[in-house]
A and B are shown apart, each in its own frame.
Chain A
Amino acid sequence: MVTFTAPSRLTARERARRAARGGGSRSVPAPLLVPALVAVGFLVLPLIGLLIRAPWGRIGAALSGADATQALVLSLWTATTATAISLVIGVPLAWVLARTSFPGQRLLRALVTLPLVLPPVVGGVALLLAFGRTGFIGQYLNSWFGLTIPFTPIAVVMAETFVAMPFLIITVEGALRSADQGFEEAAATLGARRMTVFRRVTVPLVAPSLGAGAVLCWARALGEFGATITFAGSFPGQTETMPIAVYYALENDPDAAIALSLVLLLVSVVVLVSLRDHWLRGGSVS
């Protein structure tokens, strides 16, 4: 025996929507709605807290403090240098991973992308063990060139590159794999040698992904904390980047910590907006 449910109200507007786009009810069942709202609150409320507690009137003063300015400048140039290095050595590696095949390639790809999932502090420890004063590479740098890397700005750049470069590599490798190789063939028949093909065809074809990968890499480098503090320490003006400055300022100068956090939040929003076509829609290179 079939029982009919009693009719409920259907507004004219909802009727029009269902007629135009098809589909049934759009109301969300409570067992899904409640957890979804909890998730939204959990993700968004802390950011609102940051905005509420921000010392809006004194933000300029808080940021112009010597430590804050130094941290800002250091972070900007180290993140930019790390991104540049990643472009110079990471893009060729992405090409090798995408366009060649050799024994152990899968293993190499796994190793290269390991820093994506490795706790950054482990990366810092590893860097210290390799390039530290007594590390297996560092001891020779020290005895042959008198070069000491740990706890210098070079260490900051290295820590940031170690953690951020894989973002660039996987983004560009994916783009290279999906790029139409017909264009490269066409370039070859037009007389272009392999390096010319790379420069004048491959790179322009993956340019959108190259840009997205570089932005992602830069943002990750800017936010780097664990590997940096382990390998480079936190000497103001030398190795104390913004995230580290925020961490220490929270104890004695909360206003400065919040102001610096706001700067990092702003940068993140800008990065997200610049990547919206590439990232938020889940699409790849067009």
Chain B
Amino acid sequence: MTGGGSDGLAVDAEVRRGGFTLAVSLTAAPGRVLGLLGPNGAGKSTLLAAVAGLTPVSAGRITLAGQVMDDADAGTFVEPSGRPVGFVFQNYRLFPYLTVAENVAFSPRARGQGRRAARAAAGHWLDRLGLADLAGRKPDQLSGGQAQRVALARALAGQPELLLLDEPLSALDAGTRLDVQAELKRHLADFTGPCLLVTHDPLEALVLADRLIVLEGGRIVQEGTPARIARQPATDYVAKLVGLNLYAGRADGAQVKLTGGGDFVVADQDARGDVLVAVRPSAVVVSTERPEHGSARNTWPARITGLTLLADRVRLDLEGQPSALVDVTPAAVAELSLQPGSRVWLTTKATDLEVYPRVDGQAG
């Protein structure tokens, strides 16, 4: 496969669309998958459109392998057809009137190869993605997983330097999603250029991406490895996605005063200033009597406002100082006769609290 240059992709730009402004600065390294995670309307697709040249930037610039693709200040712009970019769209956008083979041969043909060479290139990619048997089919005769692979083959057949994937698995049903995801991961590993993957599914992001950028409201709110983002979410949105309780507060040694009320004793003695505290719902213990108060423990009263059954456990929605989501076993619910309105005590060990500095602009 062809690869990116030494620089990969660099975006430092603003895209204004109506009342919405996307302002990001990011780089994507060759051979790595950069995941873009965020809620609907965060600007993920807008960012892909800008990189592909479907939407010009309003300010700033985009470079790929050292070449300027779009520079608002200098007034230069490379048309989408002139960018070495492969785009896998959310609904694939396979040409309905062409066969699978013709779809895959489209890009080599459009980029100037002869009919025969384009067909050979398509054949190569069909073989490589295990689609040779489907070459003569029309897109409406494909399953979701097959269509996804054809879309990937079509994008790769143009020998792009950069791959853009817009929610590549969202059109699939849950049953096939995991298989296709594993397969996609293998194919992405073969690609030597940078790859941008948009998703709003945290699992997809954790599995497929080497590095993650969280976008909210057109801005980057967190950036890092999937493992770090899953452990130390910077915003409520990410915390909810990865299933953690998240609190903002001010740390002073082992004491953290929470912005929303309440305080925690934490294990990290060095923390100072604005911090975030993340707690797993399973790391909080519920009891009906006030427990013995150990020095390295936090205990506070709360009232149950909701119960939800999740597979093998029950998630309690609790209101207190601070409020929390807590997971308990169904047996515990029965033994302690927990129900909405019950008053309980919550306990969590100081060592179970993940404390980390809060960067400016992050929500609590």
Contact = CB atoms under 8 A, between A and B. Distances in A.
A190 B88 CA distance: 10
B89 A188 contact: no
Interface in B43-58: 52-54
A188 B155 CA distance: 11
Interface of B: 52-54, 79-83, 85-87, 89, 91, 93, 95, 97-98, 106-107, 110-111, 154-155, 158
A188 to B, nearest CB: 4
Contact of A191 (B91, B93, B98, B111): B111
A191 B95 contact: no
A189 B95 contact: no
Interface string A27-61: 00000000000000000000000000000000000
A196 B54 contact: no
A18 interface: no
Contacts of B91: 182
A185 B110 contact: no
A183 B79 contact: no
B95 A201 contact: yes
Interface-centre pick from B97, B110, B154 (highest chain A CB count, 10 A): B110
Given A182-B89, A186-B87, A191 B97 contact: no
A189 B79 contact: no
Please report whether the interface of chain A is mostly helix, strand, loop or mixed according to DSSP. Answer: helix
5 contacts: A186-B89, A189-B52, A190-B81, A191-B158, A192-B81
A187 interface: yes
Interface of A: 180, 182-183, 185-194, 196, 200-201, 204-205, 207
B81 A191 contact: yes
Contacts of A180: 93
B106 A188 contact: no
Given A186-B89, A205-B97, A191 B107 contact: yes
A192 B86 contact: no
Given A188-B81, A191-B111, 16 more contacts: A182-B91, A183-B93, A185-B80, A185-B89, A185-B93, A186-B89, A186-B93, A187-B95, A188-B53, A188-B54, A189-B80, A189-B87, A191-B110, A193-B81, A200-B106, A205-B97
B111 A189 contact: no
A2 to B, nearest CB: 50
A201 B111 CA distance: 15
B189 to A, nearest CB: 23
